[in-house]
């Protein structure tokens, strides 16, 4: 299920209350709280499970996308900013719910911006079904 909506054009100025601003302009473009809570619950459980894979910022001569076992036995995978972009989009498009167990979701996260292919453009004002790749 997708929660993408057309983003309304914001007003040039606004004199109403913060509550009204939220109700009229902000609330309509947010992912429902139950979806955020489900993602958070699954992510927290995953991190508390045995041997989670940590997606880390690529530093030095690390190879993006190559899983590394640290000296203390932790698994990490160096990345660029791709996980932030891709994971942020997944609650909007219901993508994380397609993976059972959640570990498969983490393992499928792109590690390089050139690997990111989002199904929907969540920032398009005129057509939320526009496709693009990064």
Q: pLDDT per position in the chain (134 positions), as tens?
A: 677 667 777 778 889 999 998 888 888 888 888 888 988 999 999 999 999 999 999 988 899 999 999 999 999 999 999 999 888 888 888 777 777 888 999 999 999 887 776 555 555 444 434 333 33
Q: Please tell me the predicted confidence (pLDDT) of residue 17.
A: 94
Q: Please tell me the predicted confidence (pLDDT) of residue 92.
A: 82
3, burial (CB in 10 Å: exposed 0-12, middle 13-18, buried 19+): middle
DSSP readout, 17-55?
-HHHHIIIIIGGGSPPHHHHHHHHHHHHHHHHSSSPEEE
Q: Please tell me the predicted confidence (pLDDT) of residue 14.
A: 87
- Distance, CA of 76 to CA of 54 (rounded, Å): 4
Give pTM, 2 decimals: 0.71
- Distance, CA of 16 to CA of 51 (rounded, Å): 50
Calculate Rg over the CA atoms of the chain.
18
Q: Structure tokens of 36?
A: 């955020």
Calculate helix-pair angle for 82-93, 33-48, nearest 10 degrees: 130
């Amino acid at each position: 299920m997708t929660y993408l909506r057309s983003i309304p054009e914001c007003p040039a100025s606004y004199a109403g209350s913060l509550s009204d601003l939220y109700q009229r302009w902000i609330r309509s473009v947010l992912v429902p709280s139950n979806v955020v809570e489900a993602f958070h619950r699954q992510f927290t459980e995953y991190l508390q499970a045995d041997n989670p894979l940590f997606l880390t910022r690529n530093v030095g001569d690390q190879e993006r996308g190559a899983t590394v076992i640290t000296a203390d036995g932790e698994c990490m995978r160096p990345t660029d900013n791709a996980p932030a972009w891709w994971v942020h989009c997944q609650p909007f498009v219901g993508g994380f719910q397609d993976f059972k167990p959640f570990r498969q979701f983490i393992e499928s996260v792109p590690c390089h911006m050139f690997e990111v292919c989002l199904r929907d453009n969540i920032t398009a004002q005129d057509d939320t079904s526009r496709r693009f790749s990064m």
